[in-house]
Structure 1
């Protein structure tokens, strides 16, 4: 009996070792196939996706059902013919990272972060997290269960896009409230990172960061600065603004100490808007007139 018991125990251990080795090999293969599928999806390689999908493949997206690509998509034809076009039309991915991946037998999991722009509104989702659970059998992906921060995506997709007038108005809201963190944030959201502020032909254009720095200077020097929009003309991606700027410097302004004098000047700006953001602004201000007023002329 002792001999038989030894054989049984030895056989049980050997079986477990073999099954563990098999499970590890299967896990590695599962992760390899799932990674190939992830790469193909990220690069838009439809041919590779079609090859890796099983005939009964299911792509499931968790999230807000008001987003067109959320739900259950069953079969290659439906995934490639309906889901992929809906997703491509709806969202433009701007950043992507896979931070974790692991597998066990026929299941693999990936987790990471991404950001995107909703094409219908031009609104940026900001960076959000995602995860996907993948089922692989016989070197084919059986199911792809995708989970994302549905709130971030839904907020971007379902928000009403700002009009060009509203986008440009945020520029003057900051000029009129240079110390406001809220106005500064709105300006940063509505102005592209490579925005150029062009006030002459010297080629020394002002950047977004330099402009925000100037606003901090104005907040201290001209605390009552007001930049009122008098007229706004919108034509496609161009917005022309005539405005009236007033203020009372508390110290020397362009070398002139007005000693409590204020100014009122005319300004003209031409803004160019692309994808919901101001990318360029030509501007002219009557600063010579302001200095004359501060001098009491």
Structure 2
């Protein structure tokens, strides 16, 4: 009996399910933000699963990694000085929560609003779900209302 407990614990902690839960994705998730900061869509290929799901997707956004690449192109075209600064990273199991700050100066039309060369600084919260070392799903919310005020899109 005294040899049974260590064997049981070893099996429990070495199981594939437990290994997935014990994996830390905190460093891996930074590749997502690095892709936007460097305007490098090849980094998205390294971190996104081929069936990645964006929740909620932008209007007209293609599914999968192609959608992330489209967003990257649109954001870096509109905000050539785009910067995403990670503020906090928390992990629970295979989900990583990132609080970040998005900043940039609008130089092209954005969501139908013409550029006034104004800067925005907004907060974003993302929840990335990992499987087999890749992000399979991302839930996100950004404070675009504050951003639109900063871009002066509501001016009369």
TM-score normalised by L of structure 2: 0.75
Matched, 1:278 2:135: yes
Q: How far apart are 1:163 and its partner, in Å?
A: 4.2
Distance 1:205 1:252, change over 3 A: closer
In the alignment, what sits opposite 1:234?
Answer: 91
- Aligned runs of 1:1-297 on 2, under 5 Å? 163-178=24-39, 180=40, 184-199=41-56, 206-295=63-152
Structure 2: state its 5+ residue gaps.
Answer: 1-19
C-alpha RMSD of matched pairs (Å): 2.5
Contact 1:221 / 1:250 at 8 angstroms: preserved in 2? yes
What is the CA–CA distance in structure 2 between the aligned matches of 1:272 and 1:175, rounded to whole Å? Answer: 19
Q: Which has the higher helix share?
A: 1
What is the CA–CA distance in structure 2 between the aligned matches of 1:238 and 1:284, rounded to whole Å? Answer: 16
- Aligned residues, how many? 132
Contact 2:125 / 2:141 at 8 angstroms: preserved in 1? yes
Contact 1:198 / 1:206 at 8 angstroms: preserved in 2? no
Task: Tell which has more relative contact order, 1 or 2 (C-alpha 8 A, sep 6+).
Answer: 2
Contact 2:77 / 2:108 at 8 angstroms: preserved in 1? no
What is the CA–CA distance in structure 2 between the aligned matches of 1:240 and 1:268, rounded to whole Å? Answer: 7
What is the CA–CA distance in structure 2 between the aligned matches of 1:218 and 1:296, rounded to whole Å? Answer: 17
Structure 1: state its 5+ residue gaps.
Answer: 1-121, 123-161
TM-score normalised by L of structure 1: 0.41
The C-alpha deviation readout for 1:149-204, integer Å capped at 9, x for no partner, is xxxxxxxxxxxxx94112210001112222x3xxx22321211000001027x9x8
Of structures 1 and 2, the larger Rg is shown by 1
What is the CA–CA distance in structure 2 between the aligned matches of 1:227 and 1:252, rounded to whole Å? Answer: 20
Q: How far apart are 1:243 and its partner, in Å?
A: 0.4
